[in-house]
Structure 1
Amino acid sequence: FSDRLRATPTQPGVYLMRDKAGKVLYVGKAASLRNRVRSYFASSANLPPKIVRMVAKVADFEYIVAESESEALILECNLIKEHQPQYNARLKDDKSYPFIKIDVSEDYPQVYITRRIKKDGSKYFGPFANAGSVRRTLSLLKKLFPYRSCTKTITGNDERPCLDFFINRCVGPCIGAVDKAQYAEVIDQVTYFLEGKTNEVVKSIERRMLDASDALEFEKAAALRDQLQAIEKVHEGQKVLHLTSENIDVIAASTGLREAWVEVFFIRQGKLIGRDNFLMAGTQDDEPGNILTAFVKQFYDATPYVPPQILVEHQLDDTAAIEEWLQEKRRGTVRIQVPQRGEKRRLVEMVAENAAQGFAQLKVKQLADTAAMDSAMSELQEALSLPNLPERIECYDISNIQGTNTVGSMVVFENGKPRNDHYRRFKIKTVEGADDYSSMREMLTRRFKRFSKVKANGKNNSDDPANAGAALRKSKSEESWGIAPDLVLIDGGKGHLGAALSVFLDLGINDIPLASLAKENEELFVPHMAEPIVLPRTSQGLYLVQRARDEAHRFAITFHRERRSKKGVESALDLVPGVGPKRKRLLLIKFGSVKGIQAASPEELAAVPGMTLKLARQVKNYV
């Protein structure tokens, strides 16, 4: 490469090392491309073992000149994200880290999960390490702030609100209980809370509570008092540090053979308001400082917020260049420090200890994850942020042809295997025509009303010794209705999911996870998340939900065909008084079809066993 190295420019930029197949092995940034790339091939180069192995595979290299070191740093992050090079320390699955999004351009903004940041004026908070982290945060927000969780168009003219309104979990914009300005105040409180400005939220609610009390609106004042107490309880649980009102991120790592666990603590207004952890891949033989450097660049490339101070456990490479880049992003001063003593040093040590403990727990979990089905359920639990392993999955589907003979199916998978004796079929009774959404609503309403009833009966029986024997004698079929699923899976897209969610809201069900699987791109949708979850094609979790969906579809189609077949046999004969199933069968055996019966004379019909001339003439009148 000597001639090419001499021709390489001395400007800042990014370089890519490729093997003989053209695969990118490594992406790096340099203030001087020529000096940096040449250092890999110098005979006296003192390179880490991992880089020595990489250089041995290099068959070609290329570079991209940048205008500045900051621009080169951004380009490096993007190329690592795109190519996932084997020899770069990189965030695992960093393309899909979730954020909380609040689209303030909406009249009545929602608070939901997204995996894409757009320059659309919305407010983004994150990234979170996984769906579980963000859902725990959303769950807390929903308990503290009464913003809407529905996806309907708000007109203010709805006849009645959902259950959330009656339990003070929503201020009811759908029925006009609040106007845009009042709803915006709730969203402002959510924003302040996510930014760590809890004191401002408390002051706002205290002011509204006193105003309501002065206006003799005591129910409203009481609801605000309860909200205030809940927020203050959370506020008390946040660790208060002797850092005045500083905003700081604290980062430390625990390293293994091929992976590293990076822990981040978020301090806002001098309080520890949250923490998260991330896995870094490709860290073999890397020094802790190299790993933290890679993490800081990739993490802050993804996050919309950069604090004015970042504390790290080890000195970073290119600290000055990273600070310059972060300052451009923040539009303010950013300092990266390795504290040596005092409160900040103790804080870094606490984060490092948490990283070590978290990584140790991860290793134990990985060793225990042996069976494919356990892996599938674990993948689903992680991807969908389920509170429990989905040991019991109930999947629902609707089947009809042009709106006729509409039926629904419920299939059950327990520990990844079909539980046939818990399968259920539903004749749709209240829906006319082809309306899958209404049909799905009817089926789920019937199923979960039955669930609530069995659950209530079981509780009453257990409380009353006189009913204990009856409870033991309950049929297994009846008992199965009272088992709560770990996941309800709907065959369909966002519309079907919305129909199911409306049932859960109406029935007050908020502890059973819900998802839908759209067949076209095998995308999973979950409530309050705009973008779909796309599992890898080789994912065991995807195989499991596909099997459940296909089984529900097969079961629904089979039932639909049975109904259609029975319907096809139904004819004008069913309307003839005195002609029951037995006479009908004998007539069809004799004449082959209704058309054959129409062509026969009354005398020929009367000759059929069980028929009389009077009945034969009646048949002729009807057919």
Structure 2
Amino acid sequence: MENSDKSPGTALARGAALIGNFARSLPETPGVYRMLDAAGGVLYVGKARALRRRVTSYTQTEKLPIRLQRMVAETADMVFVHTHTEVEALLLESNLIKKLKPRFNVLLRDDKSFPYILITRDHDFPLLTKHRGAHNRKGDYFGPFASVVSVNHTVAILQRAFMLRNCADTVFANRSRPCLQYHIKRCTAPCVGLVSQQDYAGQVRLAHDFLSGKSREVQDSFVQQMQQASAVQNYEEAAKFRDRIRALTLIQSSQDVNVEGLGDADVVGLWRENGRSCVMVFFFRGGQNFGNRAYFPRHNAEEPDEALLGAFLAQFYENKPAPREILLSHPVEEAALLEQALNEKNAGRFKVRLAVPEKGQKKRLVELVVRNAREALEREALQLAGTGKLLEGVAALFDLDETPQRIEVYDNSHIAGTNMVGAMIVAGPEGFRKNAYRKFNIREAAAADDYGMMREVMQRRFAKAMEEGRGPETEGWPDVLLIDGGQGQFNAVHAALEDMGIAGSLTLVSIAKGPDRNAGREKFFMAGRPMFQLPVDDPVLHYLQRLRDEAHRFAIGSHRARRSKQIAISPLDDVPGIGAKRKKALLLHFGSAQEVARAGVQDLRQVEGISDAVAEKIYHYFHDNL
């Protein structure tokens, strides 16, 4: 006979009673609550103006939708954080949702930081560059741009139009002659004094004005200067301004969606169909369209539009600045509170306003964004349908009981045993989960030991997960491990998994390239089966190749990034008392850091700016550390 404690009704009543016990001790003050399951996993994060009242509402189970009844039935514990205001609670809630990813919340996926254009303000000759990440460096940030492609395209054209430097400060400090950028008219070579600081500041001001929305004024200025040069028959100078005008026109012509009078704004449109949704965001800055991006948040089909869009916005702006105006396709839940939270984050620089346009150009723009959201959701549905069939093929090929929900693919990269990196990529029904990718800087394996590298990666990936209670049967545990390699790599990984006692909790497969590394002749290795191959035209083979190639791409990229970072390090960077000017003088005099290290005290004294004391310090730094 089935245990009555396992029945849904009993579990629901038990969960409601537990929540009621917590509610009785809570104050009627703002705060954030977390519902936890029996294993300590976070089921749900919520915020409340009055904690006791909000938490008590979960005990009235007959009024809850099925989704929340399931959540209450699984609740085994609760955690509370008290805040001073409801706005603080909202900000903390969105932060915790993004960090903990509770399965009963609306979750914003693929929330990568956006690229910006940065004009620095910590150097006499500011740098124009692409920037992604925290805005820690002093300067002016323009964006966000919807993609790296669009920001790279814009930066390249801005260099043609305004001729600002794009080199790192360390490179700038060590130049002795103009680089290629000067010769192809992309820079005015401030590094070697071919432009004064005042004239360069004028170039920076024009670029700043253009990115701030004053494109018409900047273009008119170039036209006037071109005409003046032409009037005095200085046709070479006139041609330079003509080319710069063409560059600016190229940027403006690529802004295919523009609305007159729209300054800094994000336009957000929601479309829902068959239990799924797409939120499309168009970015406008300085009246210019900086592109758009589609999001497919994870949520329950019962979630109302106003709650879904409100949760999306709270998470979306949690790690990025909001513009002055956010135009929406639907009203959002607690709009006034959300506005207040965004304005607090904005620290009073300007007022952020949420609006649902009802007429005019802005209304038509929102309708355009919603139409784009609908089309993006249709494309996503087609892609998911195709991926679903391929995953069914993977399940059949590898004798899985169910269609895999999480496939982890591993690869290593190094050059002659240096800068060794292991990489993990993740794929599932929704495609590649790039926010779950991981890289492992190899610490213990011997140089060029591919098997040792794989063993170390497995140990670090799974031992830590087991320690934190994220073992088999928990969310985030893989169904399939796909290893880029042959029988040797398979054996190394299988042994590592057996040592940890988890070999039976997942399916391990290795995929090796065929003879002469021919794509299409891959060999597959699994426990208990002889090596096998698939027909060259098999769609499942093509899917597994795509997974392997993505892991290879990520591993190579991680290795190159690590190698580039090491290459950029100069032995002179760690010498006490040696700044950019002295380093430049030393490198110009000796030709390389290695020659500086070999130099005697007398030789070092010959360099301009190097005193006797500094020469002694440099000499002893290199020779005392041998």
Q: TM-score range by the shorter chain?
A: 0.5 to 0.7
Aligned twin of 2:29: 11
Instruction: Report whether the alignment pairs 1:309 with 2:325.
Output: yes
Structure 1 residue 119: Cα displacement:
4.2
- Contact 1:144–1:227 under 8 Å retained in 2: yes
Moved more, 248-257 or 180-189: 180-189
1:34 to 2:52 alignment: yes
Deviation at 1:252, TM superposition (A): 0.8
Cα distance change, pair 59–246 in 1 and its aligned pair in 2 (3 A):
same
Match of 1:167 in 2: 184
Q: Which has the higher contact order (CA 8 A, sep 6+)?
A: 1
Distance 2:257 2:137 in 1: 35
Q: Any gaps of 5 or more consecutive residues in structure 1?
A: 385-397, 400-414, 423-485, 502-623
Match of 1:508 in 2: none
Residues 170 and 5 of structure 1: CA distance in aligned 2, closer, same or farther (over 3 Å): same
Number of the residue aligned with 2:70: 53
Residues 139-169 of structure 1, C-alpha deviations (whole Å, 9 max, x = no match): 554555433333352138523412x322222
Q: What is the alpha-carbon distance in structure 1 between the residues aligned to residue 432 and residue 167 of structure 2? A: 24
TM (norm. structure 2) is 0.56
1:311 and 1:348 in contact (8 A); partners too: yes
Deviations along 1:62-112, one digit per CA (max 9) or x if unpaired, are: 221111122112111211121111122122132555444443213444444
Q: Which amino acid aligns with 1:358?
A: A
- Could you tell me how far apart the structure 2 residues matched to 1:195 and 1:99 are? 13
Q: Which moved more, 1:313-322 or 1:259-268?
A: 259-268
State the distance in 2 between where 1:283 and 1:140 align. 44
Q: Is the 2:269–2:373 contact (alpha carbons within 8 Å) kept by the matching residues of 1?
A: yes
For the aligned residue pairs, the C-alpha RMSD in angstroms reads 4.2
For 1:202, the aligned partner's letter is: Q
Q: 1:298 & 1:83 partners in 2: Cα distance?
A: 12
Task: Name 2:352's counterpart in structure 1.
Answer: 334
Shift of residue 293 of structure 1? 0.8
CA 1:363 to 1:103, structure 2 compared with 1: closer, same or farther past 3 Å? Answer: farther
Residues 336-362 of structure 1, C-alpha deviations (whole Å, 9 max, x = no match):
122233322222111000011122223
User: Residue in 2 aligned with 1:393?
Assistant: none
SS in 2 for 1:280: coil
- CA–CA distance in structure 2, aligned partners of residues 383 and 102 of structure 1: 32
Summarize the Cα distance change of 1:43–1:494 in structure 2 as closer, same or farther, 3 Å threshold: closer
Asked if structure 1 preserves the Cα contact closer than 8 Å seen for 2:271 and 2:373, the reply is yes
AA of the residue aligned to 1:323: E
Q: How does 1:79-158 map to 2 (within 5 A)?
A: 79-94=96-111, 96-127=113-144, 131-132=148-149, 134-142=151-159, 144-151=161-168, 152-155=170-173, 157-158=175-176
Asked if 1:347 is matched to 2:365, the reply is: yes
The residue identity in structure 1 corresponding to 2:189 is G
| 1:68 partnered with 2:78 | no
Q: Distance in 1 between matches of 2:555 and 2:515?
A: 15
Which letter does structure 2 place at the counterpart of 1:276? R
Q: 2: CA distance between counterparts of 1:218 and 1:347?
A: 43
In structure 2, the gaps of 5 or more residues are: 1-18, 395-406, 412-424, 435-446, 449-510, 519-552, 569-626
Length, aligned pairs only: 407
Give the CA deviation at 1:207: 6.0
Distance 1:12 1:187 in 2: 47
Residue range with higher mean Cα deviation, 322-331 or 208-217: 208-217
Q: CA deviation at 1:312?
A: 0.8
CA contact (8 A) 1:108 1:154 kept: no
**Of the candidates 240, 249, 263, which is equivalent to residue 232 of structure 1?**
249
Measured in 1, the distance between the counterparts of 2:125 and 2:224 equals: 22
Judge conservation of contact 1:240–1:270 (CA < 8 Å) in 2: no
Range that drifts further, 209-218 or 329-338:
209-218
- Distance in structure 2 (CA, Å) of the matches to 1:341 and 1:490: 48
- Which of 298, 310, 314 is the matching residue for 1:297? 314
1:262-273 → structure 2 map (5 Å cutoff) = 262-273=279-290
Deviation at 1:22, TM superposition (A): 1.2
Check 1:301–1:193 CA distance in 2 against 1; reply closer, same or farther (3 A cut): farther
Report if aligned partners of 1:147, 1:171 keep a CA contact under 8 Å in 2.
Answer: yes
Shift of 1:246: 4.0
Identity of aligned residues (%): 33
- Shifted more, 491-500 versus 81-90: the winner is 491-500
With over 3 angstroms needed to count, the CA separation of the structure-2 counterparts of 1:220 and 1:72, relative to structure 1, is: farther
Post-superposition offset of 1:59: 1.4
Decide which of 327, 338, 343 is 1:322's aligned counterpart: 338
- Confirm or deny: 8 A CA contact 2:110 2:433 kept in the other structure: no
- Flag the 1:283–1:113 CA change in 2: closer, same or farther, 3 A: farther
Larger gyration radius, structure 1 or structure 2: 1
